[in-house]
Amino acid sequence: MSASPLNFLRAGPPPPKVVLLPDALFFSRTIPIPAGTPPVEVAAQVELALESISPFPVAQLYHGYFHAPGSAHALVFAAYRRRFTAEQTAAWAGADLVLPTFAALLGGELPPATTLILTTGESLTAIHARSGGSVEIFTEPLAPDAIDPSPAALAQADDDRARARDTLIRAAGGSTHIIDLAAPPAADPAGSDGEIAFRSGTFASRLPTATAAALDVRDKEDLAALRRARARDVLFWRVAVGCVAALALLALGEFALIGGRGLWQKSRLAQLNAQKPTVEKIMAAQKRAVSIEDLSTKRLLPLEMVSLVAAKIPSTVLFQRAVADVADRDHIVIEAKAENSGEITLFKTALESLPECARVEIGPQQTASGSRSTTFSVSITFKPGTVKPAPSS
């Protein structure tokens, strides 16, 4: 039986991808930091401190630091880049965080004078908390696990670990409160975007995102580009989630409308039918008012239209009849006779030059047998409002 999708949802997001590096490859120092120093200046002071305490330039180091807010000290750690193979650094691609194993535990609650002992296959590491919020790191490398599984070899390995543990405790000042961790920390599932959590047994470590970013030992310019790309991806993801939520809300609203459409439609039709007689009376009254206004203000002006046309009539063209219709007050048809048919084209061109004319069309032309005169009709459409009534005397 396949797993239920609900189990996936209950499990929450997966833990971040974290690469934990061997502690024995790193050296660490505690440096003073003036109170109130901005985070950007803390990073600059860390690089200056590394220039003075490291035999190698900063560009040849993988380094990070831990600085608790308000603390007067910062823990700086670094490793020579050539101590890592190309295969190891290639495995860092796509990781959310790359740091020494002990650095994953720096977000835990350690009272002053407490020493945390972390045992791994390569080394023993002591994290000692001092007053004022500062911490110190002490590491003792271990011999590789014996291939010989005999009881004597296993007992010798246990003795080596016990001696290394005693050495670390003495280096830390002989702490009375000691916490032993038998397994390296592991990343917990992400509870929020604001922190990364680790756990080793019952000991929990929570690192804010800004603090975890300072612990990352990778190249700082590459990290800045990686964080910008992730911030962009998060923004795109949130926009996509917002669009999906909006679509879901619209779909829900559509279903609600479909469900209530019957009742809403009945109510709307009832309201429409109740208002229909009133609307019809208003429309009829408006139509009558428009008709009355047209009769009083818009008159048929055939003489004025003929006067405009007569101003362009050639001397060889005679008007015989003019027809105008009240249904189209801006249109007139004039029947005329021309002694010379060539004057008809000139007459049409002259009429088209009038600013009041919108369109001029010449009708069929007829020439009587035995006569040189040609009868024709000209259809003239004036622009609305351009034909004005003649002033009254």
Whether pLDDT at 375 is above 60: yes
Concatenating the DSSP letter of every residue in 320-358 gives: EEEEEETTEEEEEEEEEEESSTHHHHHHHHHHHTSTTEE
Residue 209 has pLDDT above 90, yes or no: no
| Segment 149-207, tens digit of pLDDT | 556 655 666 777 788 788 888 887 766 688 888 788 998 886 677 788 999 888 999 98
Total Cβ atoms within 10 A of residue 168: 23
103-134 pLDDT, tens digit each:
999 888 888 888 888 888 788 888 888 877 77
Of the pLDDT bands very low, low, confident and very high (cuts 50, 70, 90), residue 26 is very high
Region 194-223: what's the mean pLDDT? Answer: 87
Match 């002490």 to its residue by tokens. 138
262, two tokens? 């019957």
Q: Is the pLDDT of residue 281 over 50?
A: yes
Question: What DSSP designation does 104 have?
Answer: G
Amino acid 1: pLDDT: 45
CA atoms within 13 A on the CB side of 189: 7
Confidence band for 145, pLDDT divided at 50, 70 and 90:
low
The pLDDT of residue 339: 85
Place of tokens 């911490």: 135
25: helix, coil or strand? helix
By C-alpha distance, which of 103, 115, 136 is closest to 181? 115
Candidate ranges 24-33, 189-198, 218-227, 336-345; pick with highest mean pLDDT = 24-33
- Give the pLDDT score at 66: 92
Query: Between vectors from CA 14 to CA 12 and to CA 15, what angle results, nearest 5°?
Result: 120
In this structure, of 64-68, 148-152, 279-283, 288-292, the range with the lowest mean pLDDT score is 148-152
Could you tell me which of 349, 340, 336 has the C-alpha nearest to residue 378? 336
Tokens of 143: 């011999």
Using alpha carbons only, give the angle 105, 110, 113 rounded to the nearest 5 degrees.
Answer: 125
- 51 and 120 in contact (C-beta within 8 Å)? no
Residue 78, pLDDT score: 93
Letter string b/e over residues 223-235, b meaning 16 or more CB atoms within 10 A of that residue's CB = eeebeeeeeeeee
Residue 325 token pair: 């219709």
User: What average pLDDT does the segment 358-384 reach?
Assistant: 86
pTM: 0.56
Q: Is 381 helix (H, G, I), strand (E, B) or coil?
A: strand
Let me know: does 178 contact 126? Beta carbons within 8 Å.
Answer: no
pLDDT in tens, 381-393: 988 888 887 776 5
CATH 3.30.1360.100 region(s) of the chain? 302-382
Residue 272 in this model has a pLDDT that exceeds 90: no
Residue at 277: amino acid letter: P
Q: Which of 292-306, 339-353, 378-392 has the lowest mean pLDDT?
A: 292-306
Domain spanning 302-382: CATH superfamily: General secretion pathway protein M, EpsM (3.30.1360.100)
Q: What is the pLDDT of residues 49-86, one digit of tens each?
A: 898 888 888 889 999 999 887 788 889 999 999 999 98
Strands 374-382 and 366-367: antiparallel
The pLDDT confidence band at residue 253, using thresholds 50, 70 and 90, is confident
Q: pLDDT value at position 260?
A: 65
